[in-house]
Amino acid sequence: MLLNKIEELYSTNLTGMKKSVIRELLKLTQKPEIISFAGGLPSPLTFPVEEIADLARDVVLKEGEWALQYGATEGVPKFKEEIIKFLASDNVTAKPENIIVTTASQQGLDMVGRVFINPGDHIILAAPSYVGAISAFRGYSVNFECVSLDDDGMVIDDVRRVIADLKSKSIKPKFIYIIPDFQNPAGVTLSIERRRELLEIVRQENIIIIEDSPYRQLRYVGDDVPSLYELDKGEGYVISLRTFSKILFPGLRLGWIMGHEKIIDKFVVAKQAMDLCTPPMSQAIAYEYMRRGLLLDHIQDNIKLYTKRRGKMLEALGQYIPEHPEIKWTKPDGGLFLWMSFPEYVDTEKMFMQAIEENVAYVIGSAFYANSGGNNALRINFSYPSEKQIDEGVQRLARAVKTQLK
């Protein structure tokens, strides 16, 4: 009987993968009475439903010939032109050859794995880092070299130390993976000085930076910091992953990768075999939205809403979470998340069940550690719950926390 022997047939890469902890824990949080600070969903209040409905109709009528057909693997040229205009608003100059459209950032991450990782290769990333990146890279049987984070983002001395350690074993890491803006999960932003230092390092070592920046446009406080892609000035050391999921809506599954055209060409080869092309229908809808000049205003609306929710979250945490020298949380300048840490002895996975009993959910910190760690930390999302839910949810969380303190 096949099914008894099926395990023999699965690939080694697959057996290294596991169902995303976030997604599995999210299943526990489906009860309507739960206030969820887990997940990373944008608020449906930001979805321009009526605009998109009308625009979808118009664009199918007007652009149906390509919107309904197969498209170029690189992306629909007209849509890429709109992306290029959008990038200009962020000081980035790009040509069509620098861009490949992806089925959102998660595919971008998987493509990075496909293009760069051989089993047993080493990559550098922060602990904590985005859990979806960890799963994507784990699917290519990579070794994770973790460096720490502080309030200014990735600790550069740590990066130097890891590279030196690897060099002493004649190992060259394939790339440094980083979420420089409003990091997921920690909410911290890499300072301009560290951006420059990081670029110096990769130039010296001839390695690549994978810049994953899904929330870059969602800044609520402080001044913009140039992207690593901008600072690289087209030299090819930075490959940048972007998405429409957080600035328009996720249901299109739409993003792009930018980099030197020689490297992007390799991503095209990979994507041809992976799914031929990103849905032209998705590209058509986003194209029309941008062509009508709606995206920048829409982002401003998102920023307004999330600024309030972030404010409410910080206020509620200050108000309800018990004062304790070892309970801390980050104060993100943008994005969707903040990070809380507790005394060493607090196990946030154990506390999770307590939280579920209190009808509040978060993501356990260890999910974001590629190797190990994070057991006394957790991630909080403030984009999805309403201000009222944030206030009530933090009270519930505070009750769960209190049960764990000695």
Q: Which of residues 113-132 bind a second copy (CB under 8 A)?
A: 114-119, 121, 132
In angstroms, the first-to-last Cα distance of the chain is 53
Q: How far apart are CA 79 and CA 81, in angstroms?
A: 5
As a dihedral over the C-alpha atoms of residue 16, residue 18, residue 21, residue 24, rounded to 10 degrees, the angle is 180
* Burial state string for 263-275 with b = 16 or more CB within 10 A and e = fewer than 16: bbeebeebbeebe
Among 29, 106, 184, 189, binds a second copy (CB under 8 A): 106
| Residues 182-241 close enough to bind a second copy by CB under 8 A | 202-203, 206-208, 235-237
β-pair type (255-258, 238-243): antiparallel
Smaller CB distance to a second copy: residue 13 or 93? 13
Residue in this structure with the two tokens 């739960």, named with its chain if needed: 34
Among 9, 30, 222, 406, binds a second copy (CB under 8 A): 9
Q: How far apart are CA 382 and CA 130, in angstroms?
A: 16
Q: How far is the CB of 282 from a second copy (least distance, A)?
A: 5
Q: How far is the CB of 19 from a second copy (least distance, A)?
A: 5
Q: How far is the CB of 231 from a second copy (least distance, A)?
A: 15
Provide the 10 A C-beta neighbour count for residue 51: 13
Q: How far is the CB of 398 from a second copy (least distance, A)?
A: 29
Interaction between residue 140 and a second copy (CB under 8 A) = yes
Smaller CB distance to a second copy: residue 139 or 153? 139
Q: How far is the CB of 150 from a second copy (least distance, A)?
A: 28
Among 183, 245, 302, 381, binds a second copy (CB under 8 A): 245
- Residue by residue, DSSP assigns 102-115 as ESHHHHHHHHHHHH
Smaller CB distance to a second copy: residue 164 or 273? 273
| Residues 70-89 close enough to bind a second copy by CB under 8 A | 70-71, 73
Smaller CB distance to a second copy: residue 278 or 366? 278
Smaller CB distance to a second copy: residue 268 or 327? 268
Give the amino acid at 333. D
Smaller CB distance to a second copy: residue 132 or 374? 132
100 beta partners: 257
Smaller CB distance to a second copy: residue 260 or 399? 260
Q: How far apart are CA 242 and CA 258, in angstroms?
A: 8
Q: How far apart are CA 183 and CA 338, in angstroms?
A: 9
Q: How far is the CB of 132 from a second copy (least distance, A)?
A: 7
238 beta partners: 209
| Residues 149-178 close enough to bind a second copy by CB under 8 A | 174-175
Per-residue interface string for the shown chain with a second copy, residues 259-278, x marking contact by CB under 8 A? -x-xx--x-xxx-xxxxxxx
Residue 192 contacts residue 344 (beta carbons within 8 Å): no
| Residues 10-69 close enough to bind a second copy by CB under 8 A | 10-14, 17-20, 23, 41-42, 44, 47, 49-50, 52-54, 56-58, 60-61, 64-69
Give the amino acid at 402. K
Q: How far apart are CA 132 and CA 129, in angstroms?
A: 9
